[in-house]
Every structure is written in C-alpha cells, then in structure tokens.
C-alpha cells in the first residue's frame, strides 16, 4: 500500500496526514503523540476514528500540524485521519459520518470591528 494523504482543519489549525501500513505509530511534527499531546483526552480525540474502525495498530501516521491551539489541532487531526481512512476504504465513511468525524467544524473567530473593544462588545454608552 502506498502512502495516503489527507487534510483536516479546525479554527486556525491545519493537519496534514500521511497514512501507511505499519504498527500503529502516530508521529506529530517529528514527536510521538504522547509527547506532543500529553493530555490523555486529546490523545483520545485524535484516536477516535481509528478506535471506531478497530485499526489502531494497522497504520503508521505521520502528521504535520500547524496553527491554532492544542484542542483545535487535535480536532483537525481527527478530521484528517478520518478522511484518510475513507480514502483507504470508502465503505468506512458511513460509520465515521454517523459518529460526526467526517464533518468539518466551520466555526471561526469573528473579526474585531473598528471603534469597538471586541467583535461584539461595545464601549459603554454615556447619555451625558
């Protein structure tokens, strides 16, 4: 099997994933997953599509992660892994879509407007 690549995004985070057959190693920016994401919750988020399909130990995953915070990066990585698994086996799409792993979360930060302290917040109005 050749290397399959996929892209996942969430907020400002971008995850580029390269999947090939192997022993279940996940390497993020040249570091193992437990070093890059010390939190077990974030590791769980990343591995959800693999666990759902029962292929945790079947593929080696090389990841290039950029931008955003750790939560956004973990969710971008989850989407990228799910998309790569669907490229490998299109029948898996139904199971992954039912869990919500194939959906791109399009929520982005709203821009700050001029003359205001934040995007929606306004300075206090003084009548006199």
pLDDT digits (tens, 9 = 90+) for 67-98: 999 999 999 999 999 999 999 999 999 999 99
Average pLDDT value over all residues in the chain: 94
Mean pLDDT on 18-38: 94
User: What is the C-alpha to C-alpha distance for residues 89 and 78, in angstroms, rounded to an integer?
Assistant: 17
Secondary structure class of 117 (helix, strand, coil): coil
pLDDT band at 44 (very low <50, low <70, confident <90, very high): very high
Where is 120: in which H helix or E strand?
none
pTM of the model: 0.91
Confidence of residue 30 (pLDDT cuts 50, 70, 90): very high
Amino acid 1: pLDDT: 72
């Amino acid at each position: 099997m050749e290397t399959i690549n996929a892209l996942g995004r969430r907020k400002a985070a971008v995850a580029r994933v390269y999947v090939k057959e192997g022993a279940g190693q996940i390497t993020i920016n040249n570091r193992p997953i437990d070093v890059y994401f010390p939190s077990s919750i974030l590791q769980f988020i990343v591995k959800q599509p693999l666990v759902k399909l029962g292929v945790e130990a079947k593929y080696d995953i090389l990841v290039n992660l950029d931008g955003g915070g750790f939560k956004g990066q973990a969710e971008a990585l989850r989407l990228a892994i799910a998309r790569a698994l669907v490229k490998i086996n299109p029948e898996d799409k139904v199971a992954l879509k039912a869990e919500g792993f194939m959906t791109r979360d399009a929520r982005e930060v709203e821009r700050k407007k001029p003359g205001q302290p934040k995007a929606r917040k306004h300075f206090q109005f003084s009548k006199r």
